[in-house]
Amino acid sequence: MLSEIVALVRLHEIEFAPSNNAGQDRERLRLEMERCRSEISPALLARYERLKERYAAAALVEVEDGICPGCRVVLPKTAAKRLKDEIVFCDHCGRILYDSDHIYHLHY
């Protein structure tokens, strides 16, 4: 479900891009993180947490020109298509991939 990745992208942004949230109420952000977590399946959330231990902010990466920016591997063409409607993991490094072209219209 893409709504799940939207929630994950937002959670990741709150966790790793504090400047995007400057001046926002901490309590409100905490609640928003909770809401995001509640929209993400336990399996994906667990995977994200494990990836963060290894890659920190780079656990979740935006695909760039068909390449995983985490490990620079060229993704199969089918992966680019799948990004339109499902969550895709890099076959090489396991990072969670997303394409903002497909998720912005779903954004909060």
What is the binding site for Zn ion (CB under 5 A)?
68, 70-71, 90, 92-93, 95
User: Residue 9 or residue 68: which is nearer to Zn ion going by CB?
Assistant: 68
Would you state the structure tokens that stand for residue 3, as one six-digit string?
A: 């709504």
User: Residue 16 or residue 55: which is nearer to Zn ion going by CB?
Assistant: 55
Beta strands in the chain (DSSP E): 60-62, 88-89, 96-98
Q: How far is the CB of 60 from Zn ion (least distance, A)?
A: 11
Would you state the structure tokens that stand for residue 86, as one six-digit string?
A: 């499902």
Q: How far is the CB of 71 from Zn ion (least distance, A)?
A: 3
Task: Give the C-alpha distances (Å, rounded to integers) separating 90 from 55, 96, 98, 108.
Answer: 13, 7, 10, 26
Maximal C-alpha separation, the chain:
42
User: Residue 68 or residue 103: which is nearer to Zn ion going by CB?
Assistant: 68
Q: How far is the CB of 15 from Zn ion (least distance, A)?
A: 20
